Structure 1
Amino acid sequence: MEIQLDNQYRYFCELRGSPEIASMPLASEDATLSLGELIDETYHRGVLADRFPAEPETIRATIRPIWSQEPLVSQVQVELSATNGKAASYSLEFDCGPWVRRAQLKALLLKEEGSLAANQKAYRALVAVRAGAGARVTVPPLQPPAIVDGCLEDFGI
C-alpha cells in the first residue's frame, strides 16, 4: 500500500505561562512527526466504520490545521482518500494528539525545575507554521484492524 502525504505545515506544541499568544513560550516541541499516529487512527476508524477500504493500493493523506486564530490550531483535520475500484474518502478532526501527554509531562518537569511555579497553570497551544515544500510526517505501517469473528460466549464471557 502506497501512502502519499500532503502536509504543508509544521506543528509545535507550546507551553506558556499565560493564555496570550504574545507571551513567550516556556517550552516548545515539534509535534509534526507524531501526526502519523492521527493518520493511523483515521485509517482504522474509517475501515471499522466500513467507510474506507481495508487494503487500497494508494492512500492520499491530507493534514490541515483548523485555525482558532492563526497560527493557533484548534483541531487537526486528517483526510484520507483512496481508489480501490471506486473512490472513497474519510476524514476526522482531532482536538488533541500524542503531543498533549508530552506537554503534560513537560509542565510537571517545568514545575520541578522551578521554571513554572507550583501553583501556576501552564497553557498549552498547538501552533502551525507553513513549511513550504511540506513537512515530514512518520506514518506507521497501516494494517487493517484485526476483526474477531464470534460471539462473547466463544471466548468464555
Structure 2
Amino acid sequence: MPRLDLAAAPVKTGSIYPEPFAGQMAGRSSLRLGDLAGLTQFGVNMVTLEPGAAASLRHWHLREDEFALVLEGDLVLVENDAEAVMRTGDCAAWKAGLANGHRFVNRSEHVARFLVVGAKAADEVVTYADTDLQLHLAGGSARFTHHDGSDWTGPRDLAPKGETQ
C-alpha cells in the first residue's frame, strides 16, 4: 500500500457555496487525501479550521454516510438539538438520510484539525438546516436550489435558526 505524501495533496480553501455563505467559510482549508490516493468510492479530507472558523453550514446528506475524527484541538459540534465540545480522538458519524444538520466550529484560540470520510454517491442532495438552501450533485455538476426545489435566487431569510455563535 503506498504511503501518501501529505505535501502533495490537493488543498481546497473556501467553499462552493453561493454568497453570502461562501464568505462565512474563511479560515477553512482541507487536504483532499482521497483525491491524492485516487479513491473513487469515498472521500477522505483533513480539514483545518483557524480560530473562529466554521467547517461548513449546518447540513445533512440524503445518500451519503459521513464520519469525522478530531485530530488536533477542540471543536464544537453543532447539531439539531445540541452542541458538544469535541477533543482530539473524539469522533462522530451521521447516517445518510437522517435530517440531523451538523457542522464543526472552532471557537478556541488555536488551530484545530479533523478527518472527515464520506461516501461519494453519484447523485446526492445536501440540505442546509439553517437556511433555505440545498445542493444537488449529479453527473459531476453542482446546482443550488431552495428547499422547495426552485432554482437558487439568493437568500430569502438570513435569520439564524437556533444556533448561537
Superposition TM-score tier, normalisation by shorter sequence: under 0.3
What TM-score comes out, normalization by structure 2 length?
0.24
> Larger Cα Rg: Structure 1 or Structure 2?
1
Higher RCO (Cα < 8 Å, 6 or more apart): 1
What TM-score comes out, normalization by structure 1 length?
0.25
More helix by share: 1
